[in-house]
Structure 1
Amino acid sequence: MNKTSSQIRQDMIKFYGPKWDEFPSVDLYMDQIVEYINTSLQKLGMKNETKFITKSMVNNYVKNSVLIPPIKKRYNKNHIGYLIVVCLLKQCFSLAEISEMIEIYRNLKDKKIQMHYNHFMVSFETCLHEVFEKEQISFQLYKDPTKEQALMESAIKTVVYKLYTQYLLRSSSEK
């Protein structure tokens, strides 16, 4: 069932993505990780039953080396973080482009994946809330950004503006 434009706007303004410390403390099996991610991202969907990820997608990401293979069929916090970022970015970018972005972050000297993930999610939420409340993103995430930071900021804003464009299309068709 489709959401109304008013419901979509409210969901976007209220969206809160899970932070690293909020991920399940135990490793998850395939069904569990798919359910966890779909539930976590549900408010971003234009329909009530939007699926952001399926088992086939997870297998495809592992096969294409976007995601490291599970350990004994179990997925840990690293997998969850990568999959959430992939689900958000795939709204606008090809799997090859996402792979390239992930590789850039894997090659950073600073390997603090938890910190990078949390910063990505907070930045995404901030941009999303601002565009749905003020109809634009009026700030920069970084002052004098590195290439990696500029890449992340650009990717986040691209996804947020795509979601906003879909919302505008929906609200214009309701009139």
Structure 2
Amino acid sequence: MKHSLPYWHELPDLDLYLDQVLLYVNQMTISPDDIEQKKLTAAMINNYVKHKQLEKPVKKKYQKQQVARLIALTILKNVFSIQEISQTLHLLLQTNSSETLYNHFVDCMRNEENEETPEIIRYACQSVKLYYKTRQLTMELERSHHES
């Protein structure tokens, strides 16, 4: 599965309202070949804010940094718990900017990582890709059983 996630500079520069965030993040993270994938919902975002895994919106608007985090959370939560993701991001953000980390993540998901990509991001992306590959193989197996 190859995501064509937007890089930081491609994310909307305007602050977005909740419904715009949902539309944008779901368009960026749901791949056409995966019907099983769960969409991001308003309840999920509210929970992330409540549990301090996402900064509160300013005047009900979400900024680029929050959108980037939601894209990463939406993809990574298929494999890792939200607590694990937040804890790791917290540690990584002590030495890297959100922009740098997010762009490394996008590189990885696009199979374009380089030696500067933190090992933890590289392994997280590999885990996600293996998860998707397993899902794909399971669906193919189910199809072949239905056809026989």
For Structure 1 versus Structure 2, the TM-score category normalised by the shorter chain is 0.7 to 0.9
Deviations along 1:40-89, whole A, 9 cap, x unmatched? 112166218x5431000001001111111111110010001110111111
Aligned-CA RMSD value: 2.0
Letter in 2 for 1:100: Q
* Mapped partners of 1:84, 1:52: distance in 2: 11
- Find the partner of 2:105 among 120, 136, 153: 120
Superposition pairs for residues 24-35 of structure 1, below 5 Å?
A: 24-35=12-23
Superposition pairs for residues 122-141 of structure 1, below 5 Å?
A: 122-126=107-111, 141=114
Q: Can you give the 5+ residue segments of structure 2 that lack an aligned partner in the other structure?
A: none
Task: State yes or no: 1:54 paired with 2:41.
Answer: yes
Q: Determine the structure 2 residue equivalent to 1:168.
A: 137
Asked if 2 retains the 8 angstrom alpha-carbon contact of 1:23 and 1:77, the reply is yes
- Find the partner of 1:152 among 110, 114, 121: 121
Q: Cα gap change, 1:104/1:77 in structure 2, threshold over 3 Å: closer, same or farther? A: same
Moved over 2 A (4+): 140-143
Please report the TM-score for the alignment, with normalisation by the length of structure 1.
Answer: 0.75
Q: Secondary structure of the residue that 1:67 maps to in structure 2?
A: coil
Q: CA deviation at 1:151?
A: 1.4
Q: Secondary structure of the residue that 1:43 maps to in structure 2?
A: coil
Q: Determine the structure 2 residue equivalent to 1:43.
A: 31
* Mapped partners of 2:17, 2:61: distance in 1: 5
Q: CA deviation at 1:115?
A: 2.3
Please report the TM-score for the alignment, with normalisation by the length of structure 2.
Answer: 0.88
Q: Determine the structure 2 residue equivalent to 1:8.
A: none
Q: Secondary structure of the residue that 2:30 maps to in structure 1?
A: helix
* Mapped partners of 1:64, 1:173: distance in 2: 38
Superposition pairs for residues 55-74 of structure 1, below 5 Å?
A: 55-74=42-61
Asked if 2 retains the 8 angstrom alpha-carbon contact of 1:141 and 1:153, the reply is no
Q: Percent same amino acid among aligned pairs?
A: 30
Q: Determine the structure 2 residue equivalent to 1:142.
A: 115
Matched residue pairs, number? 144
Q: Can you give the 5+ residue segments of structure 1 that lack an aligned partner in the other structure?
A: 1-11, 128-139
